[in-house]
Each structure stands twice: as structure tokens, then as C-alpha cells.
Structure 1
């Protein structure tokens, strides 16, 4: 059983970017102290929803300031960067950390990142499979040459080479991506927008039940469920609303208006939000229904530094031991 934290590094109201980044580092160090197994970092551009433009850069910093906890990307977006460059970074972080780095990758979205970085909408819509295959080939080989639809180069040596490549997981939000991950024998990283029944269906479609899939949750602990829900309903929409406005499509396709209050309420209904026993029951239910034994938790949804650090400490003391005991 693995239990980790998931950090968006959102810019909270009345914070600047430096404060958001400092808080994220503090949260990762606190997660190690609280007994979590790993910390996972989101990657975003041009929005307050997350102020980390390179999850691998921040991962390198966190690996340097921690000593035990593993650090992963959730996710590094393959549609806006060269897969060889990302594979090189992953191999280097794995070597420097003694194998504590994990690589989560995803397709991303049809956002204006594609225009700024020059990769284009076609790369997002049709290029993910080739990008993933090239990244995997680089991580698993001594020398690589490539002749594909979007990448083409003569054989070169892989430097640095990690004898044991970092584990790779794929963010999956559709049956097509689930099938792609399954065909390559890779575990799925499943997001916060669906509950245990939908995640169980994704595992069934993927077909490799023994794969170390990862399930993402919002987690907020308090003395009672009412207190935990009130904390999120008060704090989460304040940073979520401005953050969601940062998602702008590269081709200006229309998007539904974000509803931060409705989304927060849905997170409270789906995830471990409540007393310690409520949180334990929710997490154990996910394990029982899905078979997934690696759960990561968004711990900063309350929208303040102090609430984030308090939440991490209390989850570590009051929730993690009971979840591990119930699933051992």
C-alpha cells in the first residue's frame, strides 16, 4: 500500500508566485515528516491554478531537500515538450536521487501552451502515442535512432543512462488512453474527477489488474465531516475559480463556464473529506472497489499555508496508519 500527496502549487488569494512555490516545498517536506510514501507535482502554464511550469525542475529541488520520500510528476505534459528531453531529465533525476524519482506523463489539453511552445494542436490530438513510445525507448535503451511521423533523428547514445529506468505512469481520462497505456504495459494515473466505480471500470478496461495504478483524491480531515466540508466549501472556490479561468483553448473553442462551488461540492461527495474515520472509510472503499493500492491526496484544497500543513500532519497521524492497517 502506497499513500502520497498531490500538490498543485495553486496561487491562493493574496499570495504571489514565490509564496505559492515556497508553500509547496514546505508541504512536501511536511509530507515526508508525516509518513507519506511519495509526493506528486502538477505542471501548468500561464495560470494561477498551478504555478509550476516544469514538474521535473521542482522534483529535482524536492529530491535534494528530502531524504526518503519519492517524488513524481502528475503530470509532465508530453504534448508541449520533446520526449527525449523529458527522458533525459527523468534519467538524471533517478540517478541523482538513488531511484526516488517517478515519472507521470499525460497528453495535456488543447490549451494555448501548444501555440506558445510551437508544438501545435495536431501534436496534442494525434501525437501522444509516438511521443510516449520515443520516451520509453530512450529510457530503456543504450542508443536510440528514430524515424517516425513527428520525430526523426540518426542514432545517438543515451546519456545519462539509468540502469533501472524510473517508473512511468500515464494519466488516463478516456478509454483510448487507457488502451494505449495497457498496450505498453504501463499503469494508469486516474484523476480526481471520477469516483471509485468509474475508476474500477477503467481498471477493468485496462485489463492489467496487477499494474500499479494510481488513484488521485481530494483529502481534508477535521473533527467532523461537517467541519471538513465547511472548510473546503469556504476555501476551495476562492482559488479554484480564478485558476480554472486560465484554461484557454488554443483554437478558441468554447468551453463550459467553470463552476468552482459545484466542483468543490462534488469533490466533497467523492473523496475523503470528513473525520479521520470518514477519510479512512473513503480510502479503503476505493482500494476494495478498484484494487488500486496507490492513493495520492490533494492536501492543499482549503486554500492556505497553515491549513495545508495542518491537514498533512493530521492525515499522517490519524488516517494513514488506519488505512495501512485496514488494507494490509
Structure 2
């Protein structure tokens, strides 16, 4: 049973600077390494304050030199915005420079605002993603490879900077699309899923859906490494919990505004927060999410893990402009108390690196 931290690196307003956001994420990564987390994940976004990290692989390369054992992942590299040759070389570089600690998360993207500025048609994204995945596998496992597709074409090519993990770094696919989930199950890739701000009922639906997809492929979903991205926060300070939930709601509002093309900005960067038709009242958010005292969070996380049966849980550590010092305390709390208690209750162990750190 693995645990990670997920960093979106948001700039909620100009009371923050991009430099402060970046340095907070680096500090959180170092803290997570020291606390015994298994993985640190970095999102990719462009052109707005929703997420400031333009290159998860650059983050991985930077923090690789500041950490010792934590694995480092992209969550995710938006494939249609890359040239495959560059991504292959940079992924190989990251895996080598981190001594084989790269977890390569990929996705097809969803924000048309970003696609327009990269000159890519969002309606082409699914097809590009599937071709790109084939190129990734060829480029990482073959010394020389060729590819001929509708969107991507390669003459005989070889990537000079190669990954040290064999046959290649683990590939994680973040998607809610059943066909793409089936592909991940079929090809043995890992899956990243999220229940957003919904509760146990949504997790049951997700479990049933994934199990049905795997069964259709002649597989058992428990043989697939499923990772759950989750908002969760433990504190006896009600004001801290309320602030965390308010920032989680902010994050969802901005994400939906960008996804459904109803985002408004006065300067082309800072997206205005506006109420969403999908807003969930705070009382319902408290009921849905693992928030509350340490014991409450442990109990709820154990319940959720038993429902979905993920092999990895990534905690959203700093939505919006949630307090950076409280975030560092939270990372330490999870490492020292919450994660060991969850593993004990479930009767599971973490990876060897995590066990040594606990």
C-alpha cells in the first residue's frame, strides 16, 4: 500500500508569487521524502493560475537532487502538447538522474484554453494520445524504432538518453474514459482515478465500473495498480479544516470553469472564481471526504481503501492558497501517524523504502 502527495501548485491571487508557489512545492517534496511518503506527483498546466508547473519532468529533475528515496512522478504529462522525441529523451534523463525513481504519468488533457495556445485541436487529443503511447513504448524498449501513424511519424530513430528502469519506467494513465481504462488494464499500465469531492458511494461506483472493465478484458482489476487522488486533511482545528475545504472547492470551481469553457479572466491569467452548478455544501464535503481528527481520517481512509482497493493513494496537500506551514505539518502528521495506522489497520505493508523510513 503506497501513499503519495499531489501538488497542483496553484496561485490563487497576486498575494502569492510564482516563485513562492514553486519553492513551497519543493519544500513539500523534501518534507514528504523525510516523512516516508512513497511518491511525489506534479501536475502540468499552462497559461493560467490553476496550476503553475509547466513541466513535471523539470520538477522531477530538480527535486531528484534534493531527495533520497521518494519516487517522483508526473501527474500528468499532457501528451498532445509534446513532441514524442523530446518527451522520450527527457523522461530517460529524469529516470537516470533520479537513479530510477521516475513514475511516468500521462494523459490526453482537457483544457481547450491550453490546447489553443499550443496549436493543437482538442478533438484530436484522444487519437494523438493513443499514438503517442505506442511511440513511448517503442522508444523506451527498443534501441531503434520506427512509427507510422495518422498524427505521428518516425523514421528509424534512437533515443540517446535512456531510462535505467527496465523495460521502462512505470506508466500511469490518468483517465475517466472507459476505453482508455480498458487499454491500461489490457497493457498492464497503472491507472490514476479520482472521486473529486464525492464520497463513498462514488468510490463504490468506480470500483464496480473498473471491475467490469477488467472482466471484459479477461482480467481481474486487482491485478492493475490503481491509484486514487484524494483530498484529505487531519486536524483538531476546525478553522484549518474549513480553510482546506474552501480551497478544495476553489480548486474544483476553477477546474470546471476551464474544462467547460466558461472561465473568465480580467488579465488572461488569473481565472475568476465563480460559483459552480456542481458546488457541494461544506457540510456535505465534510461528510464526503476524509477530513477531521486524526482518528476520523484514519477510519475514513481505511473505509475508502476497502471499497476501491487502490494500491496507491495520493493526497492533495495544498489546494488553492492553503497555508504552507499547515501543509508541512500535515505531511509530517501523515508520515508519522496516519499512514502507519492505516497500514496497520489494513494489515498491509508499504514498499521496502517506506518500511525503512517508518
Alignment of 1:109-128 (within 5 A): 109-128=110-129
Matched with 1:298 is 316
Matched with 1:223 is 236
| CA shift in 2, pair 1:185/1:242, >3 Å | closer
How far, CA to CA, are the matches of 2:177 and 2:284 in structure 1? 20
Output the TM-score relative to the length of structure 2. 0.82
Matched with 2:303 is 285
1:188-226 C-alpha deviation (Å, 9 max, x unpaired)? 1112425421331243034142121111111111127x5
How far, CA to CA, are the matches of 1:167 and 1:12 in structure 2? 32
1:69-127 C-alpha deviation (Å, 9 max, x unpaired)? 11101111112112332222111111111111110001111412222112222421432
Shift of 1:323: 1.0
Output the TM-score relative to the length of structure 1. 0.89
| CA shift in 2, pair 1:248/1:82, >3 Å | farther
Q: Any idea what SS the aligned residue of 1:306 has?
A: helix
Q: Quick check: 1:213 aligned with 2:226?
A: yes
Q: Quick check: 1:199 aligned with 2:206?
A: yes
2:4–2:39 contact (8 Å) kept in structure 1: yes
| CA shift in 2, pair 1:263/1:51, >3 Å | farther
How far, CA to CA, are the matches of 2:62 and 2:68 in structure 1? 12
1:70–1:101 contact (8 Å) kept in structure 2: yes
Matched with 2:179 is 176
How far, CA to CA, are the matches of 1:276 and 1:162 in structure 2? 39
Matched with 2:356 is none
Q: Any idea what SS the aligned residue of 1:232 has?
A: helix
Gaps of 5+ in 2: 215-220, 265-273, 349-358
| CA shift in 2, pair 1:85/1:123, >3 Å | farther
Shift of 1:38: 0.9
Shift of 1:268: 3.7
Count of residue pairs the alignment pairs up: 323
Matched with 1:166 is 169
Matched with 1:27 is 28
| CA shift in 2, pair 1:264/1:180, >3 Å | farther
| CA shift in 2, pair 1:3/1:117, >3 Å | same
How far, CA to CA, are the matches of 1:117 and 1:83 in structure 2? 15
| CA shift in 2, pair 1:266/1:96, >3 Å | farther
Gaps of 5+ in 1: none
Matched with 1:103 is 104
Matched with 2:2 is 2
Alignment of 1:252-263 (within 5 A): 258=276, 262=280
2:57–2:74 contact (8 Å) kept in structure 1: yes
